[in-house]
Structure formats: C-alpha cells, structure tokens
Structure 1
Amino acid sequence: MIARASIGGRRIRVHLSNDFGAAPLTIGAAHVALRSKESAIVEGSDRVLKFSGRASCVIPPGAQMISDPVDLNVPALGDLAISIYLPGDTGPATQHATGLHTGYISKAGDFTSALSLADATTSQSWFIAAGADVLAPPDSFAIVAFGDSITDGATSTPDTNHSWPSLLSERLQANPGTARIAVINEGISGNRVLKDGAGVSALARFDRDVIGQAGAKWVVILESINDIGQTLRDGANPADALTADDLIAGLRQLIERAHTHDIKVIGATLTPYQGAAYYSDKGEEVRMAINQWIRTSKEFDAVVDFDAATRDADNAKTIRADYNIRDHLHPNDAGYKAMADAFDLSWFAPVRAVRAQ
C-alpha cells in the first residue's frame, strides 16, 4: 500500500488494524520503505517491522498493533510503501475503501522484501494499514481532518494528492513557519454524525481517530451533510428526520471531547448541495442553520468557511460550476484547492510541543 507522509522525520512506526475484523488476524511479516514509482521501492530503504521485538504478530478482533520504531529518513510529502504478508485467510478485513493511491497485491507468498512487484493486481483501497507516525522535531504537531467523503477526497483525481487535507499539507510545507505541522486525513466517505453508515458514526469514532492520534493539536470538523441528506431527502422516513439542533448537539459533543484533551477545534461550514440526489429544501434550511451556528456561536477556536469558498456567486445554494464534479455535492480538484486555500495559516503559529507526530 502507498501512502504519503505529510511531514518528514528520521524514525517511523506503522499501525496495523483489525478494528473491524471478526477473528484474530495473523501478520506473517511487514515492511516499510520509501516508494520510488509504481510498486518499486527506493533501494536501501526497506525496513523490517517488528512488533514488541517479533517479526510476526496476531492482532485480536477490535484491536490494533503498533510496530517498533525503525530508523528511516522520511522526506516531507514523500511516498511510503507499506508491505504486509498475510499467511492465512483474513476473513473480512479492516479497510479504507477510498485510498486514492494505487496499491499492489502480489500473487501468493511473502514478497514484503521485494524491490518491486511483477504481475501484481492493483487496488485503490487500503487494507489493514491504519497509519504511520514519524519521529519529528519536538515542536511538531498534527492537524486532524475529520469528516466524510468531501474530507476523504473521494472525487479528487487518484494518485495526485488533491484532497483538501493533502493540499493543505502542501501549503503548510511551503511555509517555513508551519513546515513542522502534519495533516492526518480521517475522512470516511458516507460518514454521519449521529448514525453508523459507511463506517461508525463520528461520535463513535472520534476518540480513536482524533484524540488517539499522536501529536494531535487541532481538528477540523466537516460533518453533517450526510445526516441532513439521508434523513431529509424526498421519500425518507419522517420519523428519522433530524433538526439542526439534533446535529448541533452532536457536534458540541465532539468539541467538548477535543477541548478536554487540549485539542483546538476548527469548525468547517457545510458546502452547498442543491441539485444533489438527496437535496431537499428542508435539508437546505438545516444546512444554513448549522452554518450560521458554526460562524457565530464562538464555540469553535476558529472557523474555515468552506461554504463561502465553494458556493456559486449567483446561487448560494449550489456549488460553483467550475468546482462541481457534476453530482452537485462533491468538489473536483479545483474545488478542493479552494477549500485548502481557505485556511489562515497564522492559526497554526508555532507553540511548545509535548508530543511528536
């Protein structure tokens, strides 16, 4: 699997997940390396991963394993190749469907130390690998991007790193004052605040995906549009309808949890969606009410106005035509860039570090 490091460092550890598995998961071997191109790794960069000193491990259902750190000079915005050998049947495996990086699946056997994979099949999903931490300078911190498909970057061009979190990371790296700040993308396509759907609800996963992240100092929350669309669309069960107050109450829970752990919260306004398959006038009223609360409540430490950054100048209910992927909900690459450009980098002024990402 291929993933991009948002900041550089001299050591790395990898997280492997069986969070949603139903049976113990045997990891026969795991390696990390710097990716050169396609499935090829940079010669001399291959590192064997061990888990509490062991080259293999068994991950219980519902658990993760973190590898022992290994020495590897990881460049900022450099590609990592994480290779895993699975000696037996995994059953349903924990995955992130919208990986947006081409990964490579070998024929049967242990190819974790191979310099490249010949005749591999490809996938745009991530399996089992849940993340990687680099040992960075002591004033390094992380911004967690927490949301749904718009944060996931579902409609960005694959293999280009054009999701808004990736583009924000590039802005941070280009600015010497923020180059030690990482961005962690915890977007899940289809995610909702109050109900499980594509992945568990935002309320259910926040502690693991935000508070549990090494070095997390800020979180950007962009959630609620799927709750609005799915419960207020034409033909939806009226008993399931959500109000703005329902969703604001859920978002307040996330703010409180973050602040309890000294994580600052950036509220992101909900982007326009008129014309989307699940659009309704009632849903638009709820979207506008939530955006008004985000902008004026002063419950957030900062607000990034994605709505203003992406809406049409003549019809504020719709996304700009040149940002529209044509489903009237998701941005294209240009729209994601506008979202990344909406951040004021002065929010992320250097502060004293307590943890490294």
Structure 2
Amino acid sequence: MRARWGFALLAGLLAVLLGVLVAVGAGRDTRRDVAAAPAPEAVPAPEARPAASGEWVGTWSGAASGAEPGTRDGLPGRSLRNVVAASVGGSRARVELTNRYGTRPVTFTDVTVALAADRGPGARPGTMRRLTFGGGTSVTVPAGETAVSDPVDLDVPAAAHLLVTVYAPEPSGPVTYHRVAQQTGYAAVGDLAGDESGAAYTETTQHWRYVTGVQVFTPYTDGAVVVLGDSLTDGVTSTPDTDRRWTDFLAARLRDEPGAPRMAVLNQGISGNRLLFDAPFDRLFYGASGERRLAADVLHEEGARTLVLQLGINDLIISPHVTDPDVVVAGLTRLAEEARAAGLHVVGATLTPFDWDRDEAVAIERVRQQVNARVRAGGVFDAVLDFDRVLRDPARPHRLLPRYDSGDGLHPSDAGYRAMAEAVDLARLAQGADRTL
C-alpha cells in the first residue's frame, strides 16, 4: 500500500513538474525572437502576455559627449531638469546618471523622475517620483563612473516625455553633458527637484546634463536598437523640441506599424564623433572614438539586441583626413566583429553625401565612394542601411537631394531624417546577413 502511494505521489510530482516546464516554455514562446520577425497575425495582443513576464529595456539614451564649458566646479545649488522622450513604455522606471567627464565625485541629494505635462518644465500631476540609490535618497558618483537608480513604479506611456531632475548642493568637478540635445532643458535655483509646477525653472539650455539613460520594465518589447553615430544620428539640424531625428521617426515606425518588431530605439549619436579618432583637444565635446565608445555606450545598454553603426564620414572630412578606404573599412569591420562577438546583430550605414568647395573635396569623395562600395559588397555588416542612396541627388551623387538638405550640404533636413527612417525595412532590422535594407 505504501509503495503504491509512493509511486502515485512520485507520478503526481512529475506531472506537476512537467506542467510547470510546459508553462515556462509557453511563456517564452509568447516573446518574439528578434531574429525572425513573424507575420502581423502572429503578434500576440498585449493582453495575452503573462502578467508576471517582462524585462528591463532602455527606452531613452543620450551619450555623454564631454565636460560642459564654464562648469569647473559643477552647478551646485541648482536643480537641473532634463526633458527626454521614451521610445517604448513600461510600468516601472529607473534612471542612469553619469560623472564620466567629471574630475571629482559629485553628490546628488535629490533626484526625481516624472511625466512631463507638456514640452515645458512642468510635471503631470501625481507622477512625480523621488528616486533612491541602494535605498538612499543621496548618491555620490565618483569621477568617471555612472550610477543607476532603484526601480520606481511609474506608468510610462510609449512616446511620453519624461522630466529627470538632479540636485547637487556642493561644488564638484565639471558637469558631464550631451552637447546637442535638440531639446530644451531647464534649471532653477535651490532644491526644487520635486517641484511639479515648473514655474521656478526659468533658466534654459540645449544640453542634457548628467543623465544618460532611462530604462523601463515592460513585457511588450523585443529589446532595443542602439544607434552609434555622429551628428546625423544626433539630429543636429532637426527642428528643436519636435523629436525629428531619424531615430525618432524610426521609433515611431516600430511602435505604430503592424508586424514591426516592438523594439526600443536608443540614440547614441554625438555630433563630430569619429570612428577611428578621439576628439581633438579643442573639440573634446566630439567624444571618444566610435571604437572606444562601443563598450560604454552600446554593450551596457539594457535589452540591446541590434547595433546600427552610422560612423565614418567625419574621419574623411575632419583633419587629419583618412585618405585610405581600407583603413576606414578595417575600423568598421573591427567594431562590427566586436559587437557581433557580444551577441548583437550589426547593421551598418553607408557614408552620406557632402557638398563642399574645399580643395580636398574631390579626393574625399573618391574615398567615400570606395568605402561605400566595400560596405555594399557585404562581409562587413550583417545588413546594410544605404543612407547614401536615400539622401543623394541622382543628378549630382556627391550632393544631398535639395529637399533633404538642411542648407549646409552635409546634414539632412527634417524631411531628410524622415526619409532615412522610412528607408529601413523593419522586418529585417534585426535579422539576416549581408542584406541592404
């Protein structure tokens, strides 16, 4: 009798265990593999997702580009309010702060996050959250380091604007910033990090200060596309305060189009950035080379699945000029291989046209065409974004199409940035090898 009872108990336990394994397997199957995007009808509705499932994913990023001029001792006694846009939504949030270009530790005693009421410094009532770090409301970030806050409950809608406010009461080293935000930020005297009205935030800036990332917890994502780029990704000539960088248009497509992989878009563009060289001493805000930025600005991002690499044109047009296409292609190949070894799908962009009257323009154009030919031929990236083909004037291939030219012969207009995003085949963004998107 005992033996039969023991066998029955064992059988029952095995049945329960098998049921748990089947349930876990089914839970995994509800998330789409970004390497094989399904047809629209295969995409489960949000309400079909298990309530307990989910992951952390970056929803916004702004690469640290240098130390802000005129802030040798930091900005003590000021509340610095950054406005950032979420590419995907979630039910919880956490914030990344950096002191990468500081020379001394900086201590923040008040850090908050809230939904923006509009494009200004005011918060949506009831959404202000005070952040903690390791359970404490104060955090000291050493020079060269970053800190990520504890999670906080906050319903973040996709495409929502967030206010991330930091307050440091004491002097520190220079403020680490992102120089070209194309988004108005704010400052106020005193500790007003928790202020909802925003009325005291009368100082404005076009920089993001100290904040480099926002992450959300969500079950409705297939990870993140991280774009490592220069001023074309930074959106330097896009209309400020309108989210018209090409990455913003791409994020909207990924959110809105049926069958698109539900991926966040993280913009790690720095104006003036080069693939092979660090910024010169008199232009430190151009940032470290793309090769050196991979680890700091891409591989650490939560949920990163795909790297889009849009770099190389500044290596040709900024002195010292790279005049050997093999050197550029070798740099692109090294970076792609390192990213691929870290498990990322790597998409590379061709070098876009420029129209200058400089004596060396003809030689630079020859190198650009040779680099693009090598990239299109395959073997460098898993897939290719042919931004050159999208933006160039067919009658004058070394120039931007007039309606896509912001006026400087190099950077796109809002229409040009939109065209770049619309040229991306979303179904192939995270899969395939040696294909032109």
Other structure's SS at 1:40 match: coil
Determine the structure 2 residue equivalent to 1:353: none
Query: What is the aligned length?
Result: 342
Residue 278 of structure 2 corresponds to 196
Query: What residue in structure 2 maps to residue 274 of structure 1?
Result: 355
| Percentage of pairs with the same residue | 41
- Aligned with 1:210 (options 293, 298, 310): 298
Q: CA deviation at 1:278?
A: 8.7
Structure-1 separation of matches of 2:186 and 2:375: 41
Post-superposition CA distance 1:299-326 (Å, at most 9, x none): 3111111001100021101001111111
Asked if 1:74 is matched to 2:162, the reply is no
Q: Which amino acid aligns with 2:269?
A: G
Q: Deviations over 1:323-350 (max 9, x none)?
A: 1111100001000001001100111479
Q: How far does the alpha carbon of each residue in 1:26-45 deviate from its partner, in whole angstroms, 9 at most, with x for none?
A: 11110000001211111111
The answer to whether the 8 A contact 1:33-1:42 is kept is yes
* d(CA) in 2 for partners of 1:45, 1:314: 53
CA-CA distance at 1:50 after TM superposition: 0.5
Instruction: Summarize deviations over 1:175-202 as a string: whole Å, max 9, x none.
Output: 2433621000000000001111111111
Tell me the residue number matched to 2:104: 23
Match of 2:259 in 1: 177
SS at match of 1:55: coil
- The answer on whether the counterparts of 1:273 and 1:279 sit within 8 Å (CA) in structure 2 is no
Cross-structure match for 1:255: 336
Q: What is the DSSP-based 3-state SS (H/G/I as helix, E as strand, rest coil) of the residue aligned with 1:133?
A: strand
Deviation at 1:271, TM superposition (A): 0.8
1:32 paired with 2:113, answer yes
Matched, 1:293 2:381: no
Structure 2 residue aligned with 1:158? 240
> Per the alignment, do residues 143 and 349 of structure 1 end up closer, same or farther by CA in structure 2, a change over 3 Å counting?
closer
Following TM superposition, by how much is the alpha carbon of 1:89 offset from its aligned partner in structure 2, in angstroms?
A: 1.8
TM-score where L is the length of structure 2: 0.76
Report SS of the residue matched to 2:390. helix
Please tell me whether residue 223 in structure 1 is matched to residue 305 in structure 2.
Answer: no
Task: Within 5 Å, give how 1:1-357 maps onto structure 2.
Answer: 1-37=82-118, 38-107=120-189, 109-119=190-200, 120-137=202-219, 139-178=221-260, 180-197=262-279, 198-231=286-319, 241-275=322-356, 280-348=361-429
Root-mean-square deviation over aligned CA pairs: 1.6
Letter in 2 for 1:86: A
| In 2: Cα distance, 1:319 partner to 1:192 partner | 21
Query: CA separation in 1, counterparts of 2:357 and 2:342?
Result: 37
In structure 2, how many angstroms separate the alpha carbons of the residues matched to 1:292 and 1:241? 17
Deviation of the 1:118 alpha carbon: 2.1
Gaps of at least 5 residues in structure 2 are 1-81, 280-285, 432-437
Which structure: larger Rg? 2
- The Cα of 1:247 is off from its aligned counterpart by 1.2
SS at match of 2:370: helix
Name the aligned partner's letter for residue 187 of structure 1: G
CA contact (8 A) 2:305 2:430 kept: no
Q: TM-score, normalised by structure 1?
A: 0.92
Any unmatched runs of 5+ in structure 1? 351-357
Structure 1 residues 316 and 196: CA distance shift in structure 2, 3 A: same
Distance 2:273 2:415 in 1: 23
Distance in 1 (CA, whole Å) between partners of 2:358 and 2:137 is 48
